[in-house]
Amino acid sequence: MKNLNKKGQTKYRINDEQLLKDVLFHDYQIIKKMRAPDGNKIKMLSTLFSINPNCWRVVGITPAALEIFAENKYKKVPRMGINRSHIKQRHSFYQSLLDSEISNKHEFWEKYYNNDMTVLATSSENMKNDSSILDKSIHVPNDHRDLFRTSGYAWKHKEEEEVFLKEIHFKFKNKEPLKLLNQREIN
């Protein structure tokens, strides 16, 4: 594990899913055993999880965020006031990982993957830290398009994302059925 710069990796990301699972679980176990204060361990976990090329994956979008995108012709523009809002607050989730006894990488990956989700929301929705935004959030599919994939601290926003936003905005405005996020699906 000394030299991780092999095929399927970049300088800061591990693209091979099996290797990613191995590294995350291995390094999580080391961080958990450290004698450092939990606050420092949480910062280390945050940095560790950033090697996942799709960390903070987008699974939904609020109607208010969708309207802001529509006002901007479905493009991502500077200071538009849309953030990836974590469904489960990272600090409390990372603390729960430190407090948990997780015995294998499959259990670890499942817990990590199922709690590393975000919703595109307005800055004010994000600041409220109110889980009720999920009740009306529109589902973003996890498919071959890799919509809103992580890019540094932001997300990829190209033609595929613009087309998707136009489609769901049209349906939303015309009161056509849309798949909504359901809290039972994300717990």
List, for residues 76-102, the tens digit of each pLDDT value. Answer: 999 999 999 998 889 999 999 999 999
For residue range 13-38, list pLDDT tens digits in order.
999 999 999 999 999 999 999 999 99
- Whether pLDDT at 180 is above 70: yes
Q: Which helix (H) or strand (E) holds 57?
A: strand 57-61
By CB atoms closer than 10 A (0-12, 13-18, 19+), residue 151 is exposed
- Alpha carbon of residue 17 to chain centroid: 16
154/66 Cα distance (integer angstroms): 17
| pLDDT class of 136 with cuts at 50, 70, 90 | confident
- Range 139-165 average pLDDT: 92
Nearest residue to 155 via CA among 65, 56, 31: 56
11/106 Cα distance (integer angstroms): 25
Per-residue pLDDT, 182: 67
- Whether pLDDT at 4 is above 90: no
| Residues 138 and 125: beta-carbon distance below 8 Å | no
